[in-house]
Structure 1
């Protein structure tokens, strides 16, 4: 059987690229907000979604509550929508949740004394790693002396049995 012509291979590649681009365009983030949670007013729903995207799921801890399927995240999303429907501002809702769960609920916690270690831990870890590398280089000898003929003979005798 003859290999496909260059033209047919090019068509297959372009077809695969079109399919990949289509799949990429359709791949949207899977949000956990359920249809029964959505507010009727689009402006209020947009506010609720903005707040949900800023808040950490206390169960998952690496997701916003907007992305989390955890029951607690759903409860917080409903609480946000309830408070927005009652006329509270975004800052008031955020402050209420921080008073209830602490700064940890914020995906971007404020820079203050209580969160200082959180903010400085990454740069301090990087500096500690760099210091370890520099100290390891400083302690290593600059060069080694060549083996003496006796040491070479002993090494050859030891490695002879290794098959090498």
Structure 2
């Protein structure tokens, strides 16, 4: 079989493209997940994170987004909890993948020092998983539960949606 060399600018048109995000999963000292309400959708709860900038690694993105959204400079270890792949289907031309890091357990003092960017988030809440399940959409809750399970079991979760 002979292969034909294809210039990079042509080759990239033949493969799947994706956007990417990274973020941190935080809990309080009792292990209850901490989430932020999106300023763009009152029904959306998420953790600090966002889309990666060109040339940025997932770790750099998670740290940058965490600081931008909470004014908290994360200095903990790089501990991967989950990889998340989202196929967008016909309504959007790009798939998306995410990298979720363990932000650890925050003390009451750390939580009270969080300053939300009002353009990004309107509220911070801490609930048990059972309470989060009752108020989140199923896909978002599945991501939250997978990150929590990964932390508890010491494994890395892989999600597809």
Structure that is richer in helix per residue: 1
The TM-score with structure 2 as length reference comes to 0.21
Relative contact order, higher structure (CA 8 A, sep 6+): 2
The TM-score with structure 1 as length reference comes to 0.20
Structure that is richer in strand per residue: 2
